[in-house]
Structure 1
Amino acid sequence: MNLSAHYDKLYQESKTKIANGHYEVDELIDSKDDYRFGITLVIRPDESTKTNIQQFLNEVKAIDPHQYYYQNSDLHITVMSIISCYVGFDLRHINVADYVKVIEPIIAKHRNFKIQFKGITASPSCILLQGFLTDTLNEIRDDLRIGFKNTDLQQSIDKRYAIQTAHSTVIRFRQVLKNKDQLLKLVEKYRDFDFGTFEVHNMELVYNDWYQRKKFVKKLHEFDL
């Protein structure tokens, strides 16, 4: 996949929708009755990169403070949704050790690699960082697909879509945009901004809600590369 072309296409299409008012508001984000949970393998950016991200988010907050902004603790890149969030999932339904047993040897055979967050893109419902990855991440993903295919463990890998990017969602639209023109102008300002390059030394298997909020996330295991 040509990531630059993919992110640009997504941006151009979404920018037009947002400008025309055809964006999507997430009505579940503040709901107390959202019981969607799952387990995910994630990567966390380093502190320097997080600082740069929050600089951007603070500028957006000054324009429209009422949207949903990701805190440092919640920032992540999804390596693989092992069990995509759904209503009714409970950790008691699975044996976490069985999942660790599949994932650990896969991660262990790969070396550290780098990810660069450069630029902003958008979808009709959120603002995302453009993550650029090396072949290693997708090799790990392919190995995970094979590894879980050969088990009878509960999983939903690639059921929604086959993940190939390293994006990170940083803003979700939780209500009507008050200043969408200013928002788009600011996103354009950061369109090619270099938020940082960090080396990935480990990955976390977590139990999580749809938004990866710290108050719901439970780290199940950490894997070293």
Structure 2
Amino acid sequence: MNLTEHYNQLYKTSSETIATGKYVIDSEIKNESDSRFGITLLIRPNDEIKANIQHFINELKKVEPEQYFYPDSDIHITVMSIISCSTEFNLNMISPNEYIELICRSLVDVNKIKIHYKGITASPSAIMIQGFPSDETLNNLRNRLRENFKNSNLQQSIDSRYEISTAHSTIMRFQDKLHDPKKLIETAAKFRDYDFGEFDVKSIELVYNDWYQRKSTTRVLGDFGLR
């Protein structure tokens, strides 16, 4: 997949959808009884990157302060959704150590992953930072995970919703009616090609998480350091 083309197309269609008021509100964000949980392998950006992202978030808040914005602690890139969030899943159903062992085998020879956060894109219900891996290491890791999980007896739902191929981070979700959709897109457009920075991935986390990756409900099951 050409990531630039993918992000561009996503932005074009979604920004038009939002600006014309046809955006989608995520009604589950405020649902305190939301019990959708899953298992995710993820990457977290460094503090410098997160500070740059918060600068962007602060500009969005000026326009739409009542929407849902990701705090630093929750910003992430999904490497692989191993078990998609569902009300039917809980941690007692699996043995985390078996997942850790398989992930360790998948990470053999993975030395370095570098991500460049540049520009923003959108979906009909969210605003996202565009992430660009510097080479094929992340994609190769994903393919190895797919193969190893397919050949195991471990519970998994990899690629059941869609086949992950991007490296974006969601930073804003629509939880209420937007005050001024056009102004929101005008503000976001100023950061369309903004350089949020580049970072070397120091570790990859395996977490038990809710739909929004809230720190308060997330449990780290494994932390895999990269050389």
Scaled to the shorter chain, the TM-score interval is over 0.9
- Aligned AA (2:136): D
How does the TM-score come out when normalised to structure 1? 0.98
Q: List gaps (5 residues or longer) in structure 2.
A: none
Structure 1 residue 51, shift from structure 2 partner: 0.2
User: 2:68 — aligned with what?
Assistant: 68
Which stretch of structure 1 is more off in the superposition, 98-107 or 49-58? 98-107
For 1:62 and 1:186, how far apart are their aligned partners in 2?
10
- Aligned AA (2:214): R
User: 1:152 — aligned with what?
Assistant: 153
Q: What do the CA deviations read for 1:59-102 (whole angstroms, capped 9, x no partner)?
A: 11111110000000000000000000000211111000010110
Structure 1 residue 175, shift from structure 2 partner: 0.5
* Paired residues, number: 225
How does the TM-score come out when normalised to structure 2? 0.98
For 2:100 and 2:71, how far apart are their aligned partners in 1?
27
Structure 1 residue 32, shift from structure 2 partner: 1.3
Q: List gaps (5 residues or longer) in structure 1.
A: none
> Is the 2:35–2:87 Cα contact (8 Å) retained in structure 1?
yes
User: 1:176 — aligned with what?
Assistant: 177
1:98 and 2:98 correspond: yes
User: 2:222 — aligned with what?
Assistant: 221
User: 1:165 — aligned with what?
Assistant: 166
Residues 25-36 of structure 1: pairs in structure 2 closer than 5 A: 25-36=25-36
> Is the 1:107–1:224 Cα contact (8 Å) retained in structure 2?
no
1:195 and 2:225 correspond: no
> Is the 2:37–2:208 Cα contact (8 Å) retained in structure 1?
yes
What SS does structure 2 have at the residue aligned with 1:157? coil
RMSD: 0.7
- Aligned AA (2:153): D
User: 1:211 — aligned with what?
Assistant: 212
For 1:112 and 1:16, how far apart are their aligned partners in 2?
37
> Is the 1:108–1:224 Cα contact (8 Å) retained in structure 2?
no
For 2:108 and 2:58, how far apart are their aligned partners in 1?
38
Moved over 4 A (4+): none
Structure 1 residue 125, shift from structure 2 partner: 0.3
User: 2:48 — aligned with what?
Assistant: 48
User: 1:3 — aligned with what?
Assistant: 3
Residues 61-140 of structure 1: pairs in structure 2 closer than 5 A: 61-133=61-133, 134-140=135-141
- Aligned AA (1:141): R
Structure 1 residue 206, shift from structure 2 partner: 0.2
> Is the 2:20–2:182 Cα contact (8 Å) retained in structure 1?
no
1:18 and 2:18 correspond: yes
For 1:164 and 1:157, how far apart are their aligned partners in 2?
12
- Aligned AA (2:37): F
